[in-house]
């Protein structure tokens, strides 16, 4: 409660569109992330200042975007979400055909020294559009749900083609949770679950890297468990409260994930 009151005073919220009970956990996670990056970056002597400054700049940029979006009217929010969604879809498709693979996947757009993953931008725009379409379907019972299904299917095809199985699971989980929070008939939900469950099973059978990662997660004796073992070691060595910023031993020899 103290954190909630401090945040209200600090930001002087008078904007009814900004849900303080959602915003405060976001700020808390950002602060935790800053400390995490600060601790890990201390082991990289030549990039120490660069990493933490870059992370803080992106945090400030993200909070600014959140605030600006909260000031939008519903009509403008819909229009901007459609624009961002369309651009993100096109950019995500372009990664498959026009940009080189990075560690066996076509997910990143790299221009000069800047790189980004379009599907990360696609997530918030899809969540907004999906919720709007589901709300419209609840009230008007029109083709809104079919449009929503087409959008999600398009995203799924792109993600499985890249391939980015983890992102597909994330999109699918959020989308299904949205559907279960609506009044859509169960007879319409069941076929969708069956279809995409079939897609998951097919991905496991046909895509070797998906099969490897699932088996590696479920069975500890399958494949290289270096990353998993390192994460378990960090928990056992650090304990519940950790060893202090920059004092972690495991973080000193972590490779690129």
Per-residue model confidence as pLDDT tens digits over 170-212: 898 899 888 888 877 777 778 878 887 887 788 778 777 777 7
- Give dist(CA 149, CA 32) in Å, integer: 36
- Give dist(CA 41, CA 20) in Å, integer: 31
Contact 245, 239 (CB under 8 A): no
**Cα radius of gyration (the chain):** 21
pLDDT, residue 113, reads 74
- Give dist(CA 80, CA 68) in Å, integer: 12
Q: How far is the first Cα of the chain from the last one, in angstroms, to the nearest whole number?
A: 37
Length of the chain equals: 257
Segment 60-69, tens digit of pLDDT? 998 888 888 8
Helix (H) or strand (E) holding 115: strand 114-116
- Give dist(CA 105, CA 91) in Å, integer: 15
SS3 content of the chain, % helix, strand, coil (to 5): 75, 5, 25
161 HSE (CA, 13 A, CB side): 13
Nearest to 117 by CA among 149, 95, 143: 95
- Give dist(CA 87, CA 80) in Å, integer: 11
Angle among Cα 4, 28, 234 to the nearest 5 degrees reads 145
pLDDT, residue 4, reads 52
Contact 99, 107 (CB under 8 A): no
What the block records as the tokens of 16 is 């009814």
Segment 27-79, tens digit of pLDDT? 899 998 888 787 777 666 556 677 788 888 889 998 888 888 888 888 898 89
pTM strictly above 0.85: no
Going from N- to C-terminal start, the domains of the chain cover: 1-71, 73-206
Contact 199, 156 (CB under 8 A): yes
């Amino acid at each position: 409660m103290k954190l909630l009151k401090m945040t209200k005073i600090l930001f002087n919220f008078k904007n009814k569109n900004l849900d303080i009970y959602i915003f405060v956990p976001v700020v808390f996670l950002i602060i935790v992330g800053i400390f995490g990056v600060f601790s890990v970056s201390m082991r990289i002597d030549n990039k120490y200042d660069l990493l933490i400054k870059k992370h803080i700049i992106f945090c400030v940029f993200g909070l600014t975007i959140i605030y600006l979006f909260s000031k939008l009217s519903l009509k403008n929010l819909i229009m901007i979400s459609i624009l961002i969604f369309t651009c993100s879809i096109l950019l995500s498709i372009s990664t498959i055909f026009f940009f080189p693979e990075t560690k066996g996947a076509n997910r990143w757009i790299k221009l000069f020294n800047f790189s980004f993953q379009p599907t990360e931008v696609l997530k918030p725009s899809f969540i907004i559009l999906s919720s709007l379409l589901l709300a419209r379907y609840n009230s008007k019972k029109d083709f809104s749900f079919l449009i929503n299904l087409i959008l999600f299917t398009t995203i799924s095809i792109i993600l499985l083609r890249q391939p980015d199985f983890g992102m597909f699971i994330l999109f699918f989980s959020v989308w299904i949770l949205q559907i279960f929070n609506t009044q859509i008939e169960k007879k319409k939900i069941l076929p969708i679950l069956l279809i995409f469950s079939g897609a998951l099973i097919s991905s496991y059978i046909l895509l070797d890297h998906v099969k490897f990662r699932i088996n590696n997660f479920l069975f500890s004796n399958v494949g290289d468990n270096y990353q998993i073992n390192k994460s378990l070691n960090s928990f056992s060595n650090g304990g519940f409260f950790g060893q202090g910023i920059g004092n972690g031993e495991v973080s000193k020899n972590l490779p690129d994930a």
